Amino acid sequence: MNVNMRRRFGPVLLAVLLGLLATSLAGCGVCGLPLFGRLPSPTPTALREYVVITPTPLPPELVLEADAEEQLLINVYKRVNPAVVNIRVVKLVDSEGLHPEVPGFPDLPGLPEEFYQRGVGSGFVIDTVGHIVTNNHVVEQADEVQVTFHDGRMVRAEVIGTDPDSDLAVIKVDVPGTALHAVELGDSDTLQIGQRAIALGNPFGLRGTLTTGIISALGRSLPLGRASAVLGARFSIPELIQTDAAINPGNSGGPLLDSQGRVIGVNTAYDPEVSGVGFAVPVNTVQRVVPKLIADGHYDYPWFGISGTDVSLDIVEEMDLPVQHGALVLQVTPGGPAERAGLRGSDTTVERKGQELEIGGDVIIGIDGHKVQQFEDILVYILRYAEVGQEVDLTIIRDGREQSVKLTLGERPR
């Protein structure tokens, strides 16, 4: 460096060197940390100075709506959960009577002739006398029933009445009425697809669980595929509520609620291979069946004595029917009400596009002036409006012509 350059830049370099020396002694002014020695722990003040949090803004009305939704569910849970119970059962099982197709009942070699099986389910208190509603398949053939309340209190329970054909049951506990919280029952006839559905219960034994969804469909019937094996159903259960609120093992017997916390159904079945498909017995069925279970221990169903199927387009074409709706009678139970009334079952089997099709039986298109669109309409009508011993007027299609047949309903075999 020549003399002129030293004269020009000398003071500047000196200033820079002095600044660096001062910084090394005082610490780094940019990052707030010393260059030598131990590093101090960061403080909230330091973080606030250099980390600026800017949450995504939401319109105030959306925040209020979300808060209202949360408060609704919180309120429903606090009000209704004290009425929901966990049910544990013990039953002595005869291995010779097991069905391999039913989950939990494997056909295993070396299985003892008898063994104890344990299961869990849910239920809900309906009065201050101690009656609790649950599913029949939860307590069926139980040798011991134990109920656990929301506060951890445990008591024994007695099975009062069961109805396999609606999958409902009533058990009773000996607890002071002042210690019981009962649910409020709603009206399942007013339900609409798309409205909120709230399920309470004990999935996998996890007490006090709440899940939410919507009513996905109405008027379903079981047995339906694998769900029929779970229920062991002999007759169809009509008018079931379909929901996407999570229903899992242990939820069975728990309440399905509306937004007001009223019971609209009893969680009953789910498809283990399809998520978001659960079923509940409608509360109006509960209100019709449960009083009989409490009084008599069973429920007497009116009975046709037929098996049948919905009329399909293939059936219409093969039988040359003048209508495109109705219920085709496939079989008539010997000695049953339908046989006494002269109804005829299918007598011919045809092959259509690789599938066997039963045809030739009577097609029921009306009952007491009500149109029959499908087989389930007959079940719904007699369960809602008819009694054992009542005479009903059927409108049928036989040999291509419309006829009227009178049938006296019998009592469904137990």
- Do 94 and 159 share a structural domain? yes
Of 137, 221, 346, 362, the catalytic one is 137
Of the candidates 272, 296, 320, which is a domain's last residue? Answer: 296
Of the candidates 132, 156, 179, which is a domain's last residue? Answer: 179
Residue 45, in any domain of the structure: no
Backbone angles phi, psi at 130, to 5 degrees: 115, 10
- Do 406 and 306 share a structural domain? yes
pLDDT category at 233 given cuts 50, 70, 90 is very low
- Do 331 and 266 share a structural domain? no
Instruction: Supply 274's token pair.
Output: 């399809």
Cβ atoms within 10 Å, residue 87: 28
Task: Please give the single-letter amino acid code of residue 274.
Answer: V
25-39, 333-347, 379-393: segment of lowest average pLDDT: 25-39
CA torsion sign, 237 to 240 to 243 to 248? negative
Asked if the model's pLDDT at residue 88 lies above 80, the reply is yes
List pLDDT tens digits, range 107-144: 556 667 677 788 899 999 999 999 999 999 999 989 99
- Do 286 and 201 share a structural domain? yes
Range of the domain at 140: 80-103+114-179
pLDDT category at 16 given cuts 50, 70, 90 is very low
Q: Does the active-site annotation cover 137?
A: yes
- Do 285 and 314 share a structural domain? no
The span from the CA of 296 to the CA of 232, in Å, is: 23
pLDDT for 45 equals: 53
Instruction: Supply 199's token pair.
Output: 């399920």
The span from the CA of 198 to the CA of 245, in Å, is: 7
Residue 242, in any domain of the structure: yes
- Do 271 and 230 share a structural domain? yes
Asked if the model's pLDDT at residue 174 lies above 90, the reply is yes
- Do 347 and 288 share a structural domain? no
> Containing H/E element for 298?
none
Of 163, 165, 167, 377, the catalytic one is 167
Q: Does the active-site annotation cover 167?
A: yes
pLDDT for 190 equals: 95
Cβ atoms within 10 Å, residue 391: 12
Residue 85, in any domain of the structure: yes
Of 122, 166, 252, 346, the catalytic one is 252
Residue 217, in any domain of the structure: yes
Asked if the model's pLDDT at residue 262 lies above 60, the reply is yes
Could you tell me the CATH number of the domain that includes residue 222?
Answer: 2.40.10.10
Residue 235, in any domain of the structure: yes
Contact 292, 232 (CB under 8 A): no
- Do 400 and 340 share a structural domain? yes
Contact 190, 285 (CB under 8 A): no
- Do 287 and 262 share a structural domain? yes
Of the candidates 138, 157, 179, which is a domain's last residue? Answer: 179
- Do 174 and 213 share a structural domain? no
Residue 204, in any domain of the structure: yes
- Do 394 and 323 share a structural domain? yes
Could you tell me the CATH number of the domain that includes residue 360?
Answer: 2.30.42.10
Residue 267, in any domain of the structure: yes
Count up the domains in the chain and report the number. Answer: 3
The DSSP output letter for 153 is: -
List pLDDT tens digits, range 30-52: 333 343 444 455 555 555 555 66
The span from the CA of 35 to the CA of 108, in Å, is: 73
- Do 306 and 284 share a structural domain? no
Stated pTM of the model? 0.76
Residue 138, in any domain of the structure: yes
List pLDDT tens digits, range 263-304: 999 999 887 777 788 999 999 999 999 999 999 999 999 999
